[in-house]
Amino acid sequence: MNKKLLNYSDYLKLEDILNSQKLKSAERGTPAHDEMLFIVIHQVYELWFKQIIHELDSVLVTFNKQSVLEPDVSLAVSRLNRIIEIQKILIDQVRILETMTAMDFLEFRDDLFPSSGFQSTQFRLLENKLGLLRDARINYGGKDYKASILEKEKQDVERSESESSLFQLLENWLERTPFLSFEGFDFWDQYSEAVRSMLRNEENVIRNNPNYSESEVEYHLKEHERAVSSFEAMIDPIEHEKLIDSGKKRLSHKATQAALLIFLYREEPILHSPFNFLSRLMDVDELFTTWRQRHALMVRRMIGGKIGTGGSSGHAYLKSTADRHKVFAELADLSTFFIPRSALPALPDHIKQNLGYHFKS
């Protein structure tokens, strides 16, 4: 067989890609120079979304197994690292878009109605795959968020709502953590007692501080009581469940215990990869928050208080999604319950061996 030699342009489908920028302003006979930049930027966003979904899907497959091996966790970390680097590019692209002034944008903005970035099917898929709950979404125009998506693409988004998200798979994985209880050592009991001891010491320091006035002692004791209540609510599984029922928490108590153990004892060799995995999830969450915030600031600069082309409240809507559309915030919040290394319950030698790597000749 005579095999046709592969050509760079053919392989990358450059003819299709480079001829897919059709200026709406040109169709009315007055092409706006900056519309080309606007189109290219958003096409590149969609290409990066596609790559992020590709990486994320591989992580979902890994954590959808009954048993997740340590090399699998390390591979997932590397995939998340790639997503993180892409997210940094997404944020940097805003700077390129901001080389277009508000007056430049007005030259073609009216041609865009009623299209909007809110109609990006890939970004909705991405949010669902990460684990953003439907009920947690900021209402957009009084309609279900899928109402703006093309009819032919709704099925994919609906399916992503029913499939296991990364948040759910993370929770299941954490609940299977085998290190919470060993013979002769119960992490949660030991940790709870260490926390209560630390809090008792803090109360004594407040009461006996010679530099505090009576009113200052009273103020600091009230603040301390809040800290105690917060710790007790986190330590007690029944109180934790109440917080889940009220929507203030989402991660199960057992999964929270496991995540806290991973953070507190992350220096143990076998917990290195799990710690890195949890850290990368927080990075992904924070970078999407940063991107949304950056986008909101850019929109305010471009259109001020005007509504968005898709009918949203523009800057106000984008700012609210940055504040609310977070998935792994509870992992970041666990730092509230960290205690000094010196106060951590000491691991018995036989447990440290289980958490380390030991080779015998």
At 361 the pLDDT is 46
Mean pLDDT by 10 residues, the chain (361 residues): 84 96 95 96 97 98 91 96 98 95 92 86 96 85 82 93 96 85 77 90 94 94 90 88 92 94 91 96 97 90 69 67 88 91 83 65 46
At 64 the pLDDT is 95
Residue closest to 306 by CA, chosen among 119, 26, 105: 105
User: Which residue ranges make up each domain of the chain?
Assistant: 21-354
Residue with tokens 């005579």: 2
At 180 the pLDDT is 65
pTM: 0.89
At 301 the pLDDT is 87
At 360 the pLDDT is 52
Looking at residue 271, the DSSP 8-state letter turns out to be G
Enter the tokens of residue 148.
């703006």
H, E, C per residue of 201-251 = HHHHHHHCCCCCCHHHHHHHHHHHHHHHHHHHHHHCHHHHHHHHHCCCCCC
The topology (CATH level 3) of 21-354 is Methane Monooxygenase Hydroxylase; Chain G, domain 1 (1.20.58)
